[in-house]
Amino acid sequence: MINIPDFANASAVQIIFCVLAFITLLTAFLTIYSRNPIHSAIYLVICFFSIAGHYFLLNAQFLAIVHIIVYSGAIMILFLFTIMLMNLNEKKEVHRPRITRLGAIVSFVLISLILIAIFINSKPIVGEYTSTGEDYQSIKVLGKVLLNEYMVPFEFASVLLLVAMIGSVLLSKKEKLEK
Amino acid sequence: MNNILNQIGIENYIFLSVILFCIGVFGVLYRRNAIIVFMSIEIMLNAVSLLFVAFSTYHQDAEGQVFVFFSMAVAAAEVAVGLAILVSIFRNVGSITIDNLKNLKG
Amino acid sequence: MNTNLSLLLLLAPFLGFLINIFFGKSLGKTVAGIIGTLTVAVSFAVSLYFFGQITASKEPIQIQLFDWIQISNFKVDFGFLLDQLSILWLLFVTGIGSLIHLYSISYMHDDEKMHTFFAYLNLFVFFMITLVIGSNLLVMFIGWEGVGLCSYLLIGFWYKNQEFNDAAKKAFIMNRIGDLGLLIGIFILGMLFNTLDFSTLKIGISGATDLNMYWLSAAAFALFIGACGKSAQIPLYTWLPDAMAGPTPVSALIHAATMVTAGIFMITRMNFLFDLTPDVQSIIAVVGAITALVAATIGLVQNDIKKVLAYSTVSQLGLMFLALGLGAYEVAVFHVITHAFFKACLFLGSGSVIHALGGEQDMRNMGGLKKAMPITFGTMLIASLAISGVPLFSGFFSKDEILLVAFHSNIPLWLIGSIASIMTAFYMFRLMFLTFFKEFRGTAEQKHHLHESPSLITLPLIVLAILATVGGLISLPGNSWLNEYLTPILPKLATAAHHLGTTEYILMAIAVVGGLIGIGLAYAKYIKQDSIPAEDAAITGFSKVLYNKYYVDEFYDAIIVKPINVLSGFFRDTIETSLSSLVFGLGKVTNEISFQGKKLQSGSIGLYLFAFVIGLCAIISYLFLAQ
Amino acid sequence: MNVSLILIILFVGALVTFLAGDKLASKVALFFGLAAAGCSIVLLNHFNLGENISFISQWISKPNVSFALKADGLSLAMVLLTTVLTAIITFSSFGNDYKNAKSFYALILFMSFAMVGTFLASDGLLYYIFWELSLIPIYFIALVWGNGDVEERRKAVVKFFIYTLAGSLFMLIAFVYLYQKAGSFLIEDLYKVTLSATEQFWIFLAFFLAYAIKIPLIPFHTWQANVYQKAPTVGTMLLSGIMLKMGLYSIIRWQLPITPLAASEYKYIFIAIGIAGVIYGSIVALRQKDLKKLLAYSSLAHVGLIAAGTYTLTLDGLRGAVLQMIAHGFVVVGLFYTAEIIYRRYETRVIAEMGGIRSQTPKFTSMFLILVMASISLPATFNFVGEFTVLYSLSQVNVWFAILGGTTIILGAYYMLRMFQHSMLGETNSKVFADVSMNEGITLVAIIAVLLFFGMYPKPIIDLITPSLEEILNQINRIN
């Protein structure tokens, strides 16, 4: 099922995909592997950028932009701030028992195998990707869908963000010890 | 209209996101640092989002992207609250190694 | 008319019971006694009326009152059957009953709970009448158990003494063992013939062609066990001597004249069944003969005046069962009647003696009462002569007929019966000699108070003594009014030959001589030799075994009562606790599992996550890959 | 007018009693108890006139559950038993002062409500709900108002609660399984389900576990004696007088007709279990020192016989069982009440500490003796009618069953008379025993009157229950 890409005759898009995918996987791995949390965060930012690149590749420009803003911009900054706030570095990393590592690797292998096996077993994918030519992912269309069909969840999402904001403020406020 | 998937194929996206997801799982299990675990979770979320977008293109339907949009909102909220919790844990315990957090021991 | 009269017959004693139990105390002792006596006398009068009616018409009177119990294949009516047999029984139950009530007015006058006593007596008569006139086995069973209840109440009348209560309890439980047998018999009959009604059963059993002999015998045997319990036959006889704990009128009425004859009544009622089951009949005959002999031997050495009479009763009942077993129902009935007369007389006489001696029952402390109590002595002498089978007294005729029947069917049984009769003569006159002859052996104070009993006591004695003398007239050999009277009940009688041959006369002579030998032996030992039974401790040898009643009570105690009690303790202490701990153990196991399971909840997030992922893998692979 | 009225009266009664306050509670409860009894008698009259007094309405559409109350002769007889006994039990407690009386009496009425519901419900789930509902009030009654050491009491009562609850769960499983087959919980639909022999066996067993624990049959009886001893007498009366009849009733109504094949296949085993209970209970009762415990074991023996009667699958067995259920309900309530009367005066339940009561109070003794005699089923008491019929049905199956089951009349007489002898007879007790009060007298006389009247004239009850039992028997025999 897995088609080995024919690099010799690869089109530009294919090459871009391969590069992006490689970057995504590598940085994701490095995020986990790196001992220094700061490095991890930075690798993660790169990973997010590459995913945004995938979005561009898939012609989802709006989502790609939002992704960069939210993830690389907001979330990762939050991570970095927190890491710095806690002053984490390599030395604070505790020793991991071998059994943990072994368990992690085993389950990694297991879940990969299972997921891949599922997709291999699932119905073959249609070879031809027809296109109706309809516009479905421009900002205009997305806005209409979001504010018509998904208006209520959209509003809820805003409420959620508000609540999250209040919650995080409350949580990170220094507790006044009342006796 | 020229569809990008004609050149790349949806299965490649599937494999990409599966592997990405598994890396996330691996991170969650492998690392003891709560912040890294958090990051791994973000990786898993992104893996799923990527698949959403890929299938959105595949089905020529905007809804997949809308869902990614919502999941981003949730992820943002989650990170905000989660990190706030981590901060307060760090303040109280002095460490964010998850091995030390055993208050739930039965 | 008949319905109302039969209800009057039944309910008059019940009314007496109600009045005495509710208002007895305020009415006063004498009034309570009179009410008790009168109500029974009313029943007697009604019985007489019915007797007249039945001798004229010869038609049994069937009365149906209401449906009682509904069973799938038949229903049980609450009804009465007044035929020759039940009316005969009614006559002597209510007749002797009223005499004994009369006697009790005086006898129980010193007891503070005399009204209760009369209430119980009335209740007894009520149940006894129910037993006798019930039209089916189940109504009879009401009376059957009811008289058991009254017997329990009356034996334990002086309830402050726990030994008396024990005796009462023993009587009730022994009776209940028999009752279970009776019930089983009823069940089998119900299943076989779809009815419990006597008249229908009779038709069903006599008319049926393909009878299942196995079940028929089982039913007859079960009924016989019931009769054994009520009529104190081996192996269920031990309650009757103990029952002497009750007041003496009770012993006379219940444990000599009426209740204990219920078994004979029932077997006679069911004669059509027993006639078809010769195996059971022979069992009955053998059991009766052995009971007669065993009880007579025990009676030889007893020193308690009432105990002697009690064993004598058991022995006489044994003779009646012997007759029943040989199919001579009319002879058994005849003996029941004569026995009722002379045994009631004897018991009441002994009561009179005990009364005079202020409660003394041990014959070793009596003697020489002849002069002080002439009427008591005279009546008791007549009764003793009757029971010993001295010619012309009633007992002679009835006992002689039993032996006659036995001789014709089975010589060993005849021999056993004859020996028992000789022994009877011996111990009865031993009783008479020890009690009434020679010098008084009691305390001086008792001697000072010696007196003849008041006329309320002596009157019933005299009446009974007369009846004991002339009672034999109802069934003279060769010309039996009783046999003729009972022919509708016992169809065999119509065809039986009644002729007196040489054999019969020889047997009669043997019986008379035997009786006289018994009397003579007693005379030789207790008058000539002037011997007095030894103290309890000095009794040795075989007489010790006899004195202790062959240790049967101890035997039963050891093989039945003790094991049950031990078993009960074992169940209570061991089985119950282990069952209980089994249940608690289940709880403990659950607890332990949860305690162990708690350890999984280690609090380690890493472990949770690992488990989570593995679980996820499992679920996913099940959902997607398992197909 | 239909049977839901009784339920409404009892439920409203419980609420009103709770609101009435401690002082009025007992009287209000008695009023509602009598109202319910009166209502059931009126309904009985309507029923006898041929009116339809059942009540059915859709309750939950998915799953398909109806609020169905079906009143046939059997149900009505049991309802009558429940309501009349509730009134008697409530009245019997007038001599006692209870803390928080309003809750106490409200719980009694509530329990009565649940039990009446159990007897009437003809929808499986509804029945199950009522069945479990009845457990809650008795749990609190026994736990809060019981006697003896608190810790031990808690242990006994919690054991009882969990034990019966666990048993009932099997029944629930059986109902769920049946629902999957039938698509409805209505009893008529459940009757129609055709089940294979294996299915029947498991369903039969599931029902049996629930009922055997509730009744209780050996060897599931270990909760019984302790709870009877620890519970307040009112609780004991409710438990022994009515609640264990729920189990017996359910055997007849639910277990046998739903799984007739298994019932006839294994009937010998279950009759044997019942009879083993008779003998075992009687023998254990012989050497009990505590009056209430002795009565508990005697109850074990009697219900064993009743259960054996039901499993004979004959009309006589079922009829005798129902008659004996009613009779036993009354007599056991009476006996426990006498234990309570003695306890009120002597503060003891140990038989050895009693004795010599008869000379002080002949009235009480007579009534006690009548109850004892009824309990050992002397003819002309109601118990005899029941026991005779049951034993007869056993003899139809096998005479040996009747003989073994019949040992109850011997052993029963033995332990009851022994108990009577040591508690009532003997030398006058040094402690004063006050004569029975008005309330106590009325209660006992009422019970005795019922026992004696129906002992002589059981026809009304026989006529009432027979048609419905015949119908159930038809259901049982439908496959054979």
Q: Which residues of chain B neighbour C605 with C-beta distances below 8 Å?
A: 98-99, 101
Q: Which residues of chain B neighbour A93 with C-beta distances below 8 Å?
A: 32-33
Among the ranges given (A119-123, D317-321, D329-333, D432-436), the one the predictor scored with the smallest mean pLDDT? A119-123
Which pLDDT score is estimated for D479?
63
pLDDT in tens, C541-600: 777 777 777 888 888 888 888 888 888 888 888 888 888 888 888 889 989 999 888 888
Residue B5 confidence (pLDDT) above 80: no
Give chain D's domain count. Answer: 1
Tell me, yes or no, whether D443 lies in a domain: yes
pLDDT band of residue D247 (cuts 50, 70, 90) is very high
pLDDT < 70 stretches in chain C: 494-500, 627
pLDDT in tens, D292-349: 999 999 999 999 999 999 999 999 999 999 999 999 999 999 999 999 999 988 888 8
Residue contacts between A and C (CB atoms, under 8 Å): 25
By Cβ distance, the residue of D410, D417, D457 closest to C66 is D457
Tell me, yes or no, whether D418 lies in a domain: yes
Q: Which residues of chain C neighbour B103 with C-beta distances below 8 Å?
A: 603
Please report, for chain A, the start and end positions of each structural domain, with discontinuous segments joined by +.
1-97, 135-172
Cβ-based neighbours of C538, under 8 Å, separated by 6 or more: none
**Helix, strand and coil in chain D, % to nearest 5:** 80, 5, 20
Which pLDDT score is estimated for B1?
43
* Cβ atoms of residues C36 and C21 within 8 Å: no
Phi, psi of A74 (to 5 degrees): -80, -55
> How far apart, in whole angstroms, are the C-alpha atoms of residue C522 and residue C309?
16
Burial of C250 (0-12, 13-18, 19+ CB in 10 A): buried
- pLDDT > 70: percent of chain D: 100
**Which domain range does residue D298 map to?**
266-480
Options 3.90.1640.30, 3.40.50.1980, 3.30.70.1150, 1.20.120.1200; CATH of A1-97: 1.20.120.1200
C513 touching A, CB under 8 A?
Answer: no
pTM: 0.84
* Cβ atoms of residues D108 and D89 within 8 Å: yes
Q: Which residues of chain D neighbour C571 with C-beta distances below 8 Å?
A: 280, 283-284
pLDDT band of residue A124 (cuts 50, 70, 90) is low
Tell me, yes or no, whether D324 lies in a domain: yes
Give C253's DSSP letter.
I
Q: Considering only CA atoms, which of D87, D90, D120 is closest in space to residue D5? A: D120
D356–C160 CB contact, under 8 Å: yes
Which pLDDT score is estimated for A177?
59
Q: Which of residues 607-626 of C touch A (CB under 8 A)?
A: 610, 613-614, 616-617, 620-621, 624-625
For residue C235, cis peptide bond before it (omega within 30 degrees of 0): yes
Which pLDDT score is estimated for A133?
67
To the nearest whole Å, the CA of C618 is away from the closest chain A CA by 9
* Cβ atoms of residues D131 and D246 within 8 Å: yes
Which pLDDT score is estimated for C471?
82
Chains that touch B (3 or more CB pairs under 8 A): A, C
B95–A133 CB contact, under 8 Å: no
> How far apart, in whole angstroms, are the C-alpha atoms of residue C365 and residue C434?
9
* DSSP string for A101-125: HHHHHHHHHHHHHHHHHHHHHSPPP
pLDDT in tens, B57-83: 888 888 888 999 999 999 999 999 998
Residues D240-251: what's their mean pLDDT?
92
Q: Which residues of chain B neighbour C602 with C-beta distances below 8 Å?
A: 102, 105-106
Bin C437: left if φ > 0, else alpha if -120 < ψ < 50, else beta: beta
Tell me, yes or no, whether D413 lies in a domain: yes
Nearest CA in chain A to B2: A131
Residue A7 confidence (pLDDT) above 70: no
Structural domains of chain B ordered from first start: 9-100 (1.10.287.3510)
Which pLDDT score is estimated for D237?
92
> How far apart, in whole angstroms, are the C-alpha atoms of residue C476 and residue C496?
15
Which pLDDT score is estimated for A1?
43
Please report, for chain C, the start and end positions of each structural domain, with discontinuous segments joined by +.
277-547, 556-625
pLDDT in tens, C610-620: 888 889 888 88
ipTM for the assembly: 0.77
Phi, psi of D463 (to 5 degrees): -65, -35
C604–B102 CB contact, under 8 Å: yes
> How far apart, in whole angstroms, are the C-alpha atoms of residue B12 and residue C10?
107
- Do B and D count as touching (3 or more CB pairs closer than 8 A)? no
B9–A3 CB contact, under 8 Å: yes
Residue D10 confidence (pLDDT) above 90: yes
Q: A94, A106, A107: best mutation site toward chain C, by most C Cβ within 10 Å? A: A107
Q: C604, C613, C617: best mutation site toward chain B, by most B Cβ within 10 Å? A: C604
pLDDT band of residue A3 (cuts 50, 70, 90) is low
A119–B18 CB contact, under 8 Å: yes
Residues A45-71: what's their mean pLDDT?
90
Residues D393-413: what's their mean pLDDT?
90
Q: Which residues of chain A neighbour C618 with C-beta distances below 8 Å?
A: none
Residue B7 confidence (pLDDT) above 80: no
Residues D185-205: what's their mean pLDDT?
89
pLDDT in tens, A92-116: 566 667 877 888 888 888 888 888 8
Which pLDDT score is estimated for A88?
72
pLDDT in tens, C504-514: 788 888 888 88
Q: Please report where in the chains the tokens 């039992």 appear, as a residue.
A: D469
Residues D4-28: what's their mean pLDDT?
91
Q: Please report where in the chains the tokens 């609090």 appear, as a residue.
A: C603
Strand partners, C302: none
To the nearest whole Å, the CA of C606 is away from the closest chain B CA by 6
